[in-house]
Structure 1
Amino acid sequence: MSDHDWLAIFLTLRLAGLTTLILLVIATPLAWWMANTPWRGKPVIEALVALPLVLPPTVLGFYLLIAFAPSSPLAQFWLSLTGENLAFSFSALVIASVLYSLPFVVQPLQSGFQQVPKALLETAASLGAGRLDRFISIVVPLCRSNFLVAITLGFAHTVGEFGVVLMIGGNIPGRTQVLSIALYDRVESLQYSAAHWLAGGLIAFSFIVLCWVYRLNRYRGLELGNSHLPKAQA
């Protein structure tokens, strides 16, 4: 593999790691709210969060490209804040990746939060535990496999992005050329040997991720089943 390929790999890992970290910060309170709110308008929020699952990536990329245009208010604000243009930058890739991978992190967390026994939280509250204390000491341990699944899916989905990052990042080696774009570039230039290496690596990575997720889901199912044995009548 060439130096450009290694740069694409490192850039992809950096993008996926940063995106996953940001998503955990954003998705955790959002998923908790969605799992517990009685608000009748919740399906609208759930639909908005899940929209990237069915929306063509190029559609999201197109509107983000308009939003990131140099003349847009967002781009002007970003320029005054950081001194760099937003379009075709690494920062644009991060913003797009957070939006596009959001449901892959929110949904596993929401599913886990919905299965936390409310009686445990009520008991802890009656003993004087605050909301944050209850969340850290009860919810996080019970949903640790959900957090692992969310982290894994968020990271893996960011690694595999193509349409969105191509639309708003272009193909700038060392700056916006992530692994999927590098593969496309190698195929377009008929460098099939390098393309095989990149494609094979992505296939192996995807297979390992899926095995890991299914293993976590199986473990989570067994764990939940054991935790609910005394309450089989519920």
Structure 2
Amino acid sequence: MLQENDWQAISLTLQLAALTTVILLAIATPLSWWLAFTRKRWRHWIQALVAMPLVLPPTVLGFYLLIALGPQGFVGKTMEFLGGRHLAFTFTGIVIGSVIYSLPFAVQPLTEAFRTMGRRPLFVAESLGASKLDALWTVALPMCRGGFIVAATLVFAHTLGEFGVILMIGGSIPGETQVLSVLIYDHTEALNYTAAHKLSLGMIAVALVVLTIVYGRRRAQ
């Protein structure tokens, strides 16, 4: 049977994954649209910047985020100046880290979906009297629904398994920053292999289901 701290970590992980997914879809949609259709020469620099979390060790990203969000960092100092507290070792801090770390998993599927659609459907809709905003909502987004499903699924699943960034920024505070991946690490350190096995097998099952959904959607497109 799972213990109370296990359920607490599961709940916190699901909250983090859901919030990260919503935030990233809102951020990635306009960014992916721009990347798909812009002809600016410096778009490659933006693409490289977005993709950096794919190649950077999570501890590197987590280290610099810890500095920025901590009491001596620009963000942390600003928050304290405004009467708040710094964001290191807080739930808000790990949300920020998760959003940055999972950004390419939202941007890349959406960019590909927009490129595959192309501009022609929008031109046709506008020629029939639709405004640019109407064409976006009634034509582009429905046509790219598969891209949104893949992006949301990948971001959600990737957030469930985040470890290095979360540990660097948030540590392991029960009920605040102790997500499933960190709790599994804590169980292993304490030689509590039975609890680690249960949580790890659950995450393997979730990962298998998520990847099946992703590859199924791609094959259907």
TM-score (norm 1): 0.91
Alignment RMSD? 1.1
Equivalent position amino acid for 1:128 in 2: G
Distance 1:117 1:41 in 2: 21
What's the CA shift string for 1:182-201, capped at 9, x where partnerless?
00000000111101100000
Please name the residue that 1:2 is paired with.
Answer: 3
- Does the Cα contact within 8 Å between 2:17 and 2:159 map onto a contact in 1? yes
- Residues 53, 102 of structure 2: 8 Å contact kept: yes
Q: Which residue of 2 aligns with 1:216?
A: 217
Q: Paired residue for 2:126?
A: 125
Structure 2 counterpart of 1:225: none
Q: Which runs of 5+ in 2 are unaligned?
A: none
The offset of 1:80, in angstroms, is 4.7
Indicate yes or no: 2:113 matched with 1:115. Answer: no
Q: 1: distance between equivalents of 2:7 and 2:83? A: 27
Q: Any idea what SS the aligned residue of 1:115 has?
A: helix
Q: Secondary structure at the match of 1:206?
A: helix
Following superposition, the deviation at residue 76 of structure 1 comes to: 2.3
1:94-129 deviations in Å (ceiling 9; x for gaps): 000000000000000000000114222112122222
Contact kept, 8 Å, 2:113 with 2:147, in 1: the verdict is yes
Q: Which runs of 5+ in 1 are unaligned?
A: 221-234
What residue is the counterpart of 1:149 in the other structure?
150
CA distance in 1 between partners of 2:23 and 2:72 (Å): 27
- Tell me the CA shift for residue 163 of structure 1: 0.3
TM-score of the superposed pair, with normalisation by structure 2: 0.97
Residue in 2 aligned with 1:100? 101
Hey, what's the Cα distance between the residues in 1 that align with 2:69 and 2:100?
A: 14
Aligned partners of 1:113, 1:65: CA distance in 2, in Å? 34
Query: 2:173 aligns to what?
Result: 172
In the alignment, residue 87 of structure 1 is paired with which amino acid? A
**Equivalent residue, structure 2, for 1:39:** 40
How far the C-alpha of 1:43 sits from its partner, in A, is 0.7
Give the fraction of aligned pairs with identical amino acids, expressed as a percent: 55
How many residues align structurally? 220
Tell me the CA shift for residue 82 of structure 1.
Answer: 6.8
Partner residue in 2 for 1:232: none
- Alignment partners' CA distance in 2, 1:175 and 1:154: 21
Counterpart for residue 84 of structure 1: 85
